[in-house]
A and B are shown apart, each in its own frame.
Chain A
Amino acid sequence: MTSLQLENIGVRYGDTDVVSGVSTPVLRGGELTAVIGPNAAGKSSLFKRIAGLVKGPGVIHLSAAAQAAENAICYLPQDTSTTAILTVYESVILAAKQGSSWKVTGRELQKIDAVLNALRMTDIAGRNLGQLSGGQRQLAAIAQALVREPKILLMDEPTSALDLHRQIDVLSFMRELATRRNMAVLIALHDLNHALRYCQNVMVVVDGRMIACGATHDIITQDLLRDVYRVNARIERCSFGNSHVVIDGPIHDHAAMSVEDFAACA
């Protein structure tokens, strides 16, 4: 059984603590955990710390099953821009073959074909990454991550450049894949409706600290929207019984953008 638990995790850049004291309950395989919070809250840094790309205090507890995996943790960065002259297919081979021989076997090619087919990307497999739209590059990045067959997948805003259909497609695909593969998936998201619809858990990060972590419907509340996002909103149930956020508007405090101040500079 795959599981992940963070204990007092921190990240420090120079003299600044960008993440500190993050401890979570056990996050189990088969579940999606949305990592939410305002911009620059430290979500990406937290992911990099979990993936071992940056150093910092704290302990990451992995279950024995996760530890035994060849690529236990895989981080999917937010930035997918590249000028590399590599096709989508080659970039997925690259992700699969790190540290191994030059030869790509027929079996490995079959696996890559299957991943690209599952993500409905075969039509762009032969195109160079530099020629793709932002959304297509995000899909290529997801294929690169999935081909490594991680036990714990950290996805940093993986749907930010995708159209609505693809966003829903990717999130429902990840939810089902997580269940079938017993994979623990952490997804940084800004769309709270997606979090409510597809994620079992939510972790809220503000100013580098985790202020809440638990079942999605317990955490995403009217109070959270007001306190964390400074937004007046309600959580309502639609006729299908699904919860969704209805936004009334921003709270007009000193931090809200001001057209009057802008007009003053004319």
Chain B
Amino acid sequence: MSLVTRQDAVVLGSVQYRARSLRRLLIVAGLSSILFLSMAVDLATGPANYPLTDVLRALFVPDSVPHQMRVVIWDIRMPIALMAVIVGAALSTAGAQMQTILANPLASPFTLGISAAAGFGAALALVLGVSIIPAFVEFIIPLNAFLMAMGAALLIHFFSRLRGVTVETIVLLGIAMVFTFNALLALLQYLATEQALAAVVFWTMGSLVKATWTKVAVTALAVVIAVPLFARRAWALTALRLGDEKAASFGVRVQKVRLETMLLVSLLAAIPVSFVGTIGFVGLVGPHIARMLVGEDQRFFLPASILAGAVMLSATSVLSKTLVPGAILPIGVITALVGVPFFFSLIFATRRRS
């Protein structure tokens, strides 16, 4: 029997909700602060390590630091640091919305074969010099990767619209695509020259070192286009988690929302992968971290997913430069190696709490 009176209980529902919303806002604010700190450390770390205070001065009062330091921070490290943040945000958001619309926690650009398709597209260019669109030869690698990734994402989408196709079937299709594209990639690697083989292997490990302002801008554009549209559909996307029928009964146009979301997710997944190679873990785990922290109300889940992915990749960027002094390890490798223990610790912490 409840100890509270009925009148107390009436107040409790909205009071609890307000307290929970405030806590979630604080978590989002906390993640933003961690991201800012991680980015500053990323900018400070490198062959020449700078104190954080100098980095902050270079960021906010550029004229107050020496010219050389300004060039290192703004022209060399900033595109890489920003690329880490934006790619992390894009892949995590893509994973979050894939998991939402497919109602499957295993969905991500990596597990559904989109990254593998991009890897195959890049290898086509690196090994055979084949360009899917011959007009833009200078962008042959990212363009091939993008088109293959987009094709894979759209294939998943159209397959998912067939009658009688369950979400389990879609995940199986994704896994089948992973195997198919990996087999094709292996075939290309078998045929490749030593030089091309090295290039393909390096690409598939994922790397931020070739980040440029143009790549940063294009990737950021995908995020800037997609995120406000997701935000506009926050209630509808959250309702999809209650099932298609329930969402439809709330007035959500389920098929339309799913189509729009899948197209945007395809963009968000394909563009970063085409620029930085295969970075698998963040698209799967970023949303799960966000879910554990703030639940699945998209008003909190969307920003938390963006920030969780951005923090993960930014922190990994720092680690990739510091784990082995003097060397920059491939970020795709570090993301999984460092991310898995962190993710498991979070799962066990959540289990203990519940």
On whether the beta carbons of B13 and A90 are closer than 8 Å, the reply is no
List residues of A whose CB falls within 8 A of some B CB: 14, 48, 51, 53, 71, 74-77, 79-87, 89-91, 93-95, 97-100, 102, 109-110, 112-114, 116-117, 122-123, 125-126, 128-129, 141, 144-145, 148
How distant is the Cα of A94 from the Cα of B245 in the complex, in angstroms?
14
On whether the beta carbons of A110 and B243 are closer than 8 Å, the reply is no
Check: B195 CB closer than 8 A to any chain A CB. no
Proximity bits, B231-260, A CB within 8 Å = 1, else 0 = 100111011011101101111100000000
Check: B214 CB closer than 8 A to any chain A CB. no
A60 to chain B minimum Cβ distance, whole angstroms, is: 16
> Would you mind naming 12 contact pairs between A and B with Cβ atoms under 8 Å apart?
A71-B251, A79-B243, A83-B103, A89-B16, A94-B242, A94-B250, A102-B299, A112-B14, A113-B13, A113-B14, A122-B6, A122-B12
Among candidates A79, A83, A97, A110, residue contacting B245 with C-beta atoms closer than 8 Å: A79
On whether the beta carbons of B10 and A122 are closer than 8 Å, the reply is yes
On whether the beta carbons of A53 and B297 are closer than 8 Å, the reply is no
On whether the beta carbons of B17 and A90 are closer than 8 Å, the reply is yes
Contact residues in B for A87 (Cβ distance below 8 Å): 17, 20, 295
Check: B163 CB closer than 8 A to any chain A CB. yes
Residues B7-34 near A (CB distance < 8 A): 9-14, 16-18, 20
List residues of B whose CB falls within 8 A of some A CB: 2, 6, 9-14, 16-18, 20, 103, 163, 231, 234-236, 238-239, 241-243, 245-246, 248-252, 291, 295-297, 299
Contact residues in A for B234 (Cβ distance below 8 Å): 102
On whether the beta carbons of A98 and B235 are closer than 8 Å, the reply is yes
Contact residues in A for B13 (Cβ distance below 8 Å): 89, 109, 112-113, 116-117, 122, 125-126
On whether the beta carbons of B242 and A84 are closer than 8 Å, the reply is yes
On whether the beta carbons of A126 and B239 are closer than 8 Å, the reply is no
On whether the beta carbons of B10 and A77 are closer than 8 Å, the reply is no
On whether the beta carbons of B249 and A76 are closer than 8 Å, the reply is yes
Contact residues in B for A125 (Cβ distance below 8 Å): 12-13, 16-17
Among candidates A81, A95, A100, A122, residue contacting B9 with C-beta atoms closer than 8 Å: A122
How distant is the Cα of A8 from the Cα of B39 in the complex, in angstroms?
64
On whether the beta carbons of B242 and A75 are closer than 8 Å, the reply is no
The 6 closest A-B pairs by CB, nearest first: A84-B241, A122-B9, A109-B14, A125-B13, A77-B245, A75-B249
Contact residues in B for A77 (Cβ distance below 8 Å): 243, 245-246, 249
Among candidates B12, B231, B238, B252, residue contacting A86 with C-beta atoms closer than 8 Å: B238
Most-contacted residue by chain B among A53, A84, A86, A109 (CB, 10 A): A84
How distant is the Cα of A76 from the Cα of B250 in the complex, in angstroms?
9
A207 to chain B minimum Cβ distance, whole angstroms, is: 22
On whether the beta carbons of A94 and B9 are closer than 8 Å, the reply is no
Beyond A95-B250, A125-B13, 8 additional contacts (C-beta under 8 Å) are A82-B241, A83-B103, A84-B241, A84-B242, A87-B295, A90-B17, A112-B14, A122-B10
On whether the beta carbons of B17 and A109 are closer than 8 Å, the reply is yes
On whether the beta carbons of B249 and A82 are closer than 8 Å, the reply is no
On whether the beta carbons of B241 and A148 are closer than 8 Å, the reply is no
On whether the beta carbons of B235 and A99 are closer than 8 Å, the reply is yes
On whether the beta carbons of A74 and B17 are closer than 8 Å, the reply is no
How distant is the Cα of A100 from the Cα of B10 in the complex, in angstroms?
25
On whether the beta carbons of B296 and A123 are closer than 8 Å, the reply is no
On whether the beta carbons of B241 and A51 are closer than 8 Å, the reply is no
Contact residues in A for B236 (Cβ distance below 8 Å): 98-99
Contact residues in A for B16 (Cβ distance below 8 Å): 89, 125-126
How distant is the Cα of A46 from the Cα of B16 in the complex, in angstroms?
39
Task: Output the nearest chain A residue to B18 by Cβ-Cβ distance.
Answer: A109
How distant is the Cα of A51 from the Cα of B18 in the complex, in angstroms?
33
B232 to chain A minimum Cβ distance, whole angstroms, is: 10
Task: Output the nearest chain A residue to B104 by Cβ-Cβ distance.
Answer: A83
